[in-house]
Amino acid sequence: MKTKLMSMRWSFAVGVCLVSLFAVFTNENAHGQETGQGKYITEATARLTKHVDTANKNGYNLTANEFSIGGGWLKQSTTKWIPIFSMQLNSGKRYRFIAAGDADAKDVDLEVLDSNNNVVASDTLTNPEAIVDFSPQNNGRYTVRIRLYASDRNLDCMCVAVVMAK
């Protein structure tokens, strides 16, 4: 009887450990689901805000009545770029594109593509933020895309980007 009771306690303890491990790994893989994704939007926009303030000091501003910001919940990838917006840019005007990821983002990249899908400007440095200054030679539609190249523990991350003009 004592052996059977010990065996039941052992089985219970092993079961509790397995359930606990499952809960830990499920929460870790569901990044953002355990506490809500709002936290990650706040982290990404806090990083972005610092660079927007710097851009303001350098003469760049958000343009009234025009698209300015976009983003998404991105999976880490060394190859997958996510188009976040397409917009009309004017030759001779200076633009600053800024992207930033949440606290788990280790490397966020940004590219600007012309209407023929040629990369005309990019920031692929290893930083959780990306900044691209670009002055198009031709009026036209340009696409901005971002990539979460690296993140802590390969977690999905909130990444946001903004366009400003001077």
Q: How deeply is 55 buried, as exposed, middle or buried, from its count of CB atoms within 10 A (0-12, 13-18, 19+)?
A: buried
Q: What are the structural domain ranges in the chain?
A: 1-30, 36-165
pLDDT at residue 89 greater than cutoff 50: yes
pTM: 0.79
Average pLDDT over residues 17-22: 31
**For 110-157, how does the pLDDT look when each residue is reduced to its tens digit (9 = 90+)?**
999 999 999 999 999 999 999 999 999 999 999 999 999 999 999 999
Which H/E stretch holds residue 101?
strand 95-101
Tokens read off for 112: 């600007």
**For 40-61, how does the pLDDT look when each residue is reduced to its tens digit (9 = 90+)?**
999 999 999 999 999 999 999 9
Average pLDDT over residues 90-109: 97
pLDDT at residue 7 greater than cutoff 50: no
pLDDT at 5: 38
CB neighbour burial string for 35-51, b if at least 16 within 10 angstroms, e if fewer: eeeeebbebbbebbeeb
Would you place residue 33 in the very low, low, confident or very high pLDDT band (cuts 50, 70, 90)? low
pLDDT at residue 14 greater than cutoff 50: no
Would you place residue 28 in the very low, low, confident or very high pLDDT band (cuts 50, 70, 90)? very low
Q: What percent of the chain has pLDDT over 90?
A: 77
Tokens read off for 78: 């060394």
Would you place residue 17 in the very low, low, confident or very high pLDDT band (cuts 50, 70, 90)? very low
Q: Which fold has domain 36-165?
A: Jelly Rolls (2.60.120)
Kindly report the average pLDDT of the chain as a whole number: 85
Assess contact for 164 and 92: CB atoms under 8 A.
no
